[in-house]
Structure 1
Amino acid sequence: MKKLVLILALMSSTYVFAQNKAEQNLLTAVEKMKAAMVSGDRKDLEDIAADDLSYGHSGGKIEDKATFVETIASGKSDFVSIDLANQTVKITGSTGVVRHELHAKTNDGGKPGEVHLGILLVWQLQGKDWKLLARQAFKLPH
């Protein structure tokens, strides 16, 4: 009986470790995306996004990968800084769901501004890398 309890304890701790490692890897991908959005680096933006990306804005506009990358890399959408708050992570198989609040300073078209949005990110594990498959922004309640 003691052996069975020990085996079960080891199995559950291995699962928790694996889940935590997967979550850490996903959170690293979120940080890479945040850094790429602030830097506007085209290669970094392309690397983080899945080929089938669906990138939704709070106003209803939807972009594909090429438009998402071009909008940020060209400076049309310019993030000066991004802070994330109240972040949660859930991984099921090869799909990760991340929710957070995005608080950013922007400089779109040379006009300073601020953005405060709720964000839902859907990530897909492709090989060893997490790729952003879908993003939907929404207005936060006041």
Structure 2
Amino acid sequence: MSQMYPNVEKMAPVPDAPPMLQHEHLQQGSGSYDPPPPYMQAPGQQAPVVGPQTVTVVVDTGKFGPYPKAMQCYHCGQQVMTTVTKKAGTITWALCSLLCIVGCFCGCCLIPFCASPTQDMMHRCPNCQKFLGAYERIKFRR
């Protein structure tokens, strides 16, 4: 230590400073430190045990989409995957009317009734067959 800091012995002691620790194994060049002192606990307490924890969170946004949804039925209380049926909605009738105005009278105006992207989706419980909610492509009412 005196080779690295030759003037250490000449320095005045600092008041209230902890004493310098002398580690013989560090001076011999082993390159490792002593392990930290053990965790001090209050008498009669055990050390907290921390282990891996698995948390599963199911978040129901309450919104219905065009596809079946896993949820708890409001009526029977069972955890179900909804069944989806199609129904002609506002956009279906609007496209049909537009095609009639353009001049598609020979059955072409019925195309929106066959296309899934133009129809609303009705969600029902597969157990009790009760209506749970709907996904409307366009909503005019509140």
TM bucket normalised to smaller:
under 0.3
TM superposition score normalised by structure 1:
0.21
> Which of the two has greater helix per residue?
1
TM superposition score normalised by structure 2:
0.21
> Which of the two has greater strand per residue?
1
